[in-house]
Every structure is written in structure tokens, then in C-alpha cells.
């Protein structure tokens, strides 16, 4: 099932500014935080040097730039999350998609390499690998897509045949060519499968329930029941 949604509803599901989960994602692990902190320190030093070089006339600007630089470690996750949101909001049309899980399997992917030197002075290349969940979803129309995310303990309940929902984006008004998909929601497990949490999940849940109620109300059995009640 694919149901187009309005631009207004799409912008509610995909906000411009970072949400809490998006901020947490972009905050990153401790090494990422340390890297941002070092950038802040270096930026503050650069601003101070510029202030000394340009004299007192630069003081008001130096104060502003100093505050921005000093707090880079704090506001940078908002900036990067907002950029990702803007990238996905550039698609003109969107829709709510409901299908099912076709396949689910685990792979081990290379995510980076590190160079180390052993006791004998030999250069060693260490591969960093991560176990990832591969989720294939599709529907009766033949549409199929795959999502790959870091493996989590909560993923163990996912199985083929379960209902899957997500947001799809396109630059075609009829959504004939899907250009981008969001995180996947599996209602039976109340589980989101995602790397970056694109959607505002409470708003997405509202859309899902509204469409479910609408579909149920217009089903043949419901229409027949309504007709019988009218006859009575």
C-alpha cells in the first residue's frame, strides 16, 4: 500500500531542526565528542589571535565568534542533523508505504581500517568490521528495497512476513520512482529499524493509525455492515 501525503504532513514527519534522537545520533561516541572539543579549542585560539592582530575594533566580532567557537562541541550535532533533514526535505513528493518484511539476514561489513606498528616495527593494517542487519521489504506491486543498519539485540524478533511501514520520497507526483526511503517501522514489534532516525516518530504513528482506520472503514465488510444497519 502506498498513500501520498500532503507536503504539510511530510514537513511534520521530517522536521527541519534536529529532534532529540537525531541530536543523540549526531552527538556520536566519545572519540567524536573529543574531536569536536579539540575543534572548539583550536577555533577559540584562532579567534584570539585574530583579535590581537586586528586590534580593539575587532572586539565585538571577536566576542561573538569566540562564543560560537567555544560552543561548537555543543551545537555541531544540531547543525549536522539539520543538514541531513534539509537534504531529505528537498524531495517534492512523499507517501506513506506499508508492505512486509521479505527477508532478513546478518552480514559483517568493513567500516574502516587502522594502521598500527607491532613490537618489531612492522606496519599492520587492522580492519574494523561491524555486524549489520540487512532488511528486505516489499509489497504486492513488486516494489522492493533494502535497509542496512548496525545490528542490535532488539532486531532478533524480526521475521519475514511481518508488516513494515516507512516514508518514501520522490520527485514525481505519482510516486512512480522512489528516490529515498526513511527508517522502517515494524508495528507488531513496536520496533524502528534505522541508522539515522529521519522521522518524527509520534507524528508517523498518527499517520499510520489514521490510514489504518480509514482503510478499515472503507473495507467491503465494513461497508456491508453499514448497509445492514441502514436497512434495519
For β-strands 180-181 and 123-138, DSSP reports them as unpaired
DSSP string across 83-124: HHHHHHHT-SEEEEEEEEEEEEEEEEEEEEEEEEE-TTS-EE
Q: Could you read off the pLDDT tens digit of each residue along the chain, which spans 232 residues?
A: 899 999 999 999 999 999 999 999 999 989 899 999 999 999 999 999 988 888 777 888 888 999 999 999 999 999 999 999 999 999 999 999 999 999 999 999 877 777 777 777 777 777 788 899 999 999 999 999 999 999 999 999 999 999 999 999 999 999 989 999 999 999 999 999 998 999 999 899 888 888 777 665 555 444 444 333 332 2
**What are the structural domain ranges in the chain?**
2-14+91-216, 23-88
Query: Cell numbers of 20, please?
Result: 532529540
Give the global pTM: 0.79
**SS3 state of residue 56:** helix
Q: Answer yes or no: are the C-beta atoms of 22 and 197 closer than 8 Å.
A: yes
Buried b / exposed e across 23-51, counting CB within 10 Å, b at 16+?
bebbbeeeeeeeebeeebeebbeebeeeb
Query: Cell numbers of 149, please?
Result: 543498519
Amino acid at each position: 500500500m502506498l498513500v501520498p501525503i500532503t507536503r504539510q504532513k511530510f514537513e511534520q514527519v521530517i522536521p527541519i531542526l534536529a529532534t532529540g534522537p537525531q541530536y543523540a545520533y549526531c552527538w556520536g561516541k566519545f572519540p567524536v565528542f573529543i574531536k569536536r572539543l579539540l575543534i572548539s579549542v583550536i577555533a577559540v585560539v584562532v579567534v584570539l589571535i585574530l583579535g590581537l592582530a586586528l586590534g580593539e575594533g575587532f572586539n565585538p566580532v571577536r566576542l561573538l565568534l569566540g562564543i560560537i567557537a567555544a560552543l561548537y562541541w555543543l551545537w555541531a550535532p544540531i547543525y549536522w542533523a539539520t543538514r541531513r533533514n534539509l537534504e531529505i526535505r528537498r524531495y517534492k513528493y512523499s507517501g506513506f508505504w506499508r508492505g512486509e518484511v521479505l527477508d532478513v539476514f546478518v552480514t559483517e561489513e568493513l567500516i574502516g581500517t587502522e594502521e598500527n606498528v607491532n613490537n618489531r616495527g612492522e606496519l599492520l593494517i587492522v580492519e574494523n568490521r561491524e555486524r549489520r542487519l540487512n532488511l528486505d521489504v516489499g509489497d504486492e506491486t513488486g516494489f522492493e528495497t533494502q535497509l542496512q543498519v548496525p545490528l542490535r539485540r532488539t532486531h532478533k524478533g524480526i521475521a519475514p512476513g511481518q508488516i513494515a511501514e516507512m516514508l518514501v520520497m520522490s520527485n514525481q507526483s505519482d510516486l512512480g520512482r522512489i528516490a529515498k526511503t526513511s527508517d522502517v517501522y515494524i508495528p507488531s514489534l513496536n520496533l524502528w529499524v534505522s541508522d539515522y532516525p529521519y522521522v518524527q516518530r509520534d507524528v508517523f504513528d498518527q499517520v499510520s493509525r489514521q490510514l489504518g482506520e480509514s482503510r478499515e472503514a472503507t473495507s467491503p465488510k465494513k461497508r456491508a455492515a453499514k448497509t445492514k444497519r441502514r436497512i434495519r
